[in-house]
Amino acid sequence: MKPIVLDGKFLAADTETNLIDRVQNLQNNGINPCLATILVGNDPASGTYVKMKQNTCKRLGIKSLAVELPSNTSTEQLIIKISELNADESVHGILLQHPVPEQIDERQCFNHIDVAKDVDGVTTLGFGNMTMGVDAYGSCTPQGIMRILEHYNIELSGLNAVIIGRSPILGKPMSMMLLNKNATVTICHSRTKDLSAIVKNADLVVAAVGIPKFIKTSWLKNGVILIDAGYHPKENCGDADLLDIEKVAYAYTPVPGGVGPMTINTLMLQTIVAAEKNCNV
Ligand code: NAP
């Protein structure tokens, strides 16, 4: 049987009509949903990601407020800017583009974002709330993955889920989201021993390693659900080698067109939700 292609590109496009309606409803009620994007320095990849987010805002009718700071910005200067945006009632969501230049304490800056405006799901408080099942904005990439799994009716309870990667924005929140859905979760990282044997036992694999084609199809068990969160534009591939994936998987995310589009879509959705909370619509 052919595997299910978990088509994030289709799903993201399909939800846009609903998002546009919700933006219009907010505007009819006098609220102009607004996402502030903060870009520090001139890393070309970060610049491209911010541009993509701003373009999607424009398409949906969400206002985007672009804040660009020089690469020699200090932690203190960035915190002042974040505090200004926290206090600005016309701003509903704040995105601080990761990574920031190395002299900046990124965690401290993330944690200064008001949790009510943390639509990118990066604060420690938001992570804690999400983990404890308290209402919170999820980190956008893992939250987007959960939305894909839900859309395709993938039952997670009891699944043996293996997450490869433990970053604060991806592997860690992904693990907690799957745990909250009653999967049995194993988190792997660069010190994990015998990774391929652990992966072989997995019903669901999330590849979040940052290395092109790192996870091999031969490591996967028959009937696996493979979620590839990676994207490497130069190689046009993800973190898993999808060669022969159709022979092994029950379901998989293609690269490109799987996880990536749902990340930005989730950022937009959470910005709209933050604006709706201001408006009681
Ligand atoms: P990251 O911060 O670099 O984290 C990579 C993780 O992989 C770390 O936990 C690291 O372990 C682990 N790792 C590295 N080498 C390993 C190895 N040989 N064996 C097992 N684990 C290993 O990356 P990230 O930000 O989480 O991103 C991961 C991937 O997702 C990247 O491909 C990135 O492009 C992609 N991504 C996509 C989106 C999207 O919108 N689609 C958004 C964010 C990220 P240690 O903790 O031990 O170092």
User: Do 246 and 151 share a domain, yes or no?
Assistant: yes
Distance 238 CA to ligand 1 centre (A): 11
pLDDT single digits (tens) 93-106: 999 999 999 999 99
**Predicted structure pTM score:** 0.97
Q: Is residue 229 within 6 Å of ligand 1 at its C-beta? A: yes
pLDDT single digits (tens) 61-85: 999 999 999 999 999 999 999 999 9
Q: Determine the pLDDT at residue 280.
A: 65
Domain that holds residue 169: 140-260
Task: Measure the CA–CA gap between 260 and 237, rounded to whole angstroms.
Answer: 12
Distance 232 CA to ligand 1 centre (A): 12
Annotated active-site residue 53? The verdict is yes
- Using the predicted structure, report yes or no on whether residue 1 has a pLDDT greater than 90: no
Q: Determine the pLDDT at residue 178.
A: 98
User: Do 247 and 150 share a domain, yes or no?
Assistant: yes
> Which secondary structure element, helix H or strand E, spans residue 184, and what is its range?
strand 184-188
User: Do the domain assignments include residue 232?
Assistant: yes
Q: Is residue 142 within 6 Å of ligand 1 at its C-beta? A: no
Nearest ligand 1 atom to the CA of 263 is 40
The tally of domains found in the chain comes to 2
User: Do the domain assignments include residue 23?
Assistant: no
Q: Where are the beta strands (DSSP E) in 59-179?
A: 63-69, 93-96, 160-164
Nearest ligand 1 atom to the CA of 230 is 32
Mean pLDDT, the chain, as a whole number? Answer: 97
CATH of the domain at 176: 3.40.50.720
User: Do the domain assignments include residue 6?
Assistant: no
User: Do the domain assignments include residue 74?
Assistant: yes
CATH of the domain at 44: 3.40.50.10860
- Using the predicted structure, report yes or no on whether residue 281 has a pLDDT greater than 90: no
Q: Are strands 224-228 and 204-207 parallel, antiparallel or unpaired?
A: parallel
User: Do 100 and 156 share a domain, yes or no?
Assistant: no
pLDDT single digits (tens) 156-206: 999 999 999 999 999 999 999 999 999 999 999 999 999 999 999 999 999
